[in-house]
Amino acid sequence: MEATKVAIVTGSSRGIGAETALLLAKNGYAVCVNYVSNSESAEHVANQITSNGGRSLAVRADVSSASDVKRLFKTVDAELGRVSVLVNNSGILMRQCRLDDISEERFLQVLRTNVIGCFLCSKEAIKRMSIKHGGQGGAIVNVSSAASKTGSPNEYVDYAASKGAVDTLTKGLALEVAEEGIRVNAVRPGLIHTDMHASGGEPSRVQRLKSTIPLQRGGHPAEVAEAILWLATDKSSFVTGSFIDTTGGL
């Protein structure tokens, strides 16, 4: 167990982020539970960790805001210590529609959270992890999506495009900081049972599409969290610039 390690999981008040925060804590990490609005759920996750003997705090921060991100990392510096694992999990999804019905404002909002948020958090993490900056190395795990490969036609082309950008950022950043002790990888979840589908206007989307999945079922947040944990720890010490598709075979 890596008891001295510190992890920040963005967007971890629910779903994949919450399961990842809890799993990292079980494996000895002090965990920052980041959220943007649901303080009650975030505090619940943090309290679960502390009640089991771990160290955690919940920090409100909008990852699309540079000032919020800087405050987030400075808070973790002061309360938990230097971050060694960053999980870029924050992401938003809008209602299903065709591209010609997507507004410029909507597209920009999706890009700000899903791409700029990943960029801003990674930037602050590198300043703390990189041996070039006096750090001791670390791992960044980006939560992308199978949509980056399918394009999500007639549903969320803007979301899919943002996750395609995350894939490219993952690869480029991995190569850029490989010699500085930082590994950068991503998971690409498919149809997972989370509240995000309700944001798209179809809470039962996984149930509707499960027959298209080779494993004939939707995935669970805990299953994605296990892949994230592996990429975050030294068990994947020779892996960088890589992707794990948690899609049930899609």
Domain ranges of the chain: 6-244
Which is catalytic among the residues 29, 35, 156, 159? Answer: 159
The segments of the chain whose pLDDT lies below 70 read: 1-4, 196-202
- Which tens digits make up the pLDDT trace of 93-118? 999 999 999 999 999 999 999 999 99
- What pLDDT was estimated at residue 138? 98
- What pLDDT was estimated at residue 202? 66
- What pLDDT was estimated at residue 3? 44
- What pLDDT was estimated at residue 2? 41
Residue 221 to residue 225: CA distance in whole angstroms: 6
**Helix axis angle, 221-232 to 15-26, nearest 10°:** 50
3-state secondary structure the chain: CCCCCEEEECCCCCHHHHHHHHHHHHCCCEEEEEECCCHHHHHHHHHHHHHCCCCEEEEECCCCCHHHHHHHHHHHHHHCCCCCEEEECCCCCCCCCCHHHCCHHHHHHHHHHHHHHHHHHHHHHHHHHCHHHCCCCEEEEEECCCHHHHCCCCCCHHHHHHHHHHHHHHHHHHHHHHHHCEEEEEEEECCECCCHHHHCCCCCHHHHHHHHCCCCCCECHHHHHHHHHHHHCHHHCCCCCCEEEECCCC
- What pLDDT was estimated at residue 197? 58
Q: Which CATH superfamily is domain 6-244 in?
A: NAD(P)-binding Rossmann-like Domain (3.40.50.720)
pTM of the model: 0.94
Q: Which residues contact 238 (CB under 8 A, 6 or more apart)?
A: none
159 is a catalytic site residue: yes
- What pLDDT was estimated at residue 8? 98
- Which tens digits make up the pLDDT trace of 16-41? 999 999 999 999 999 999 999 999 99
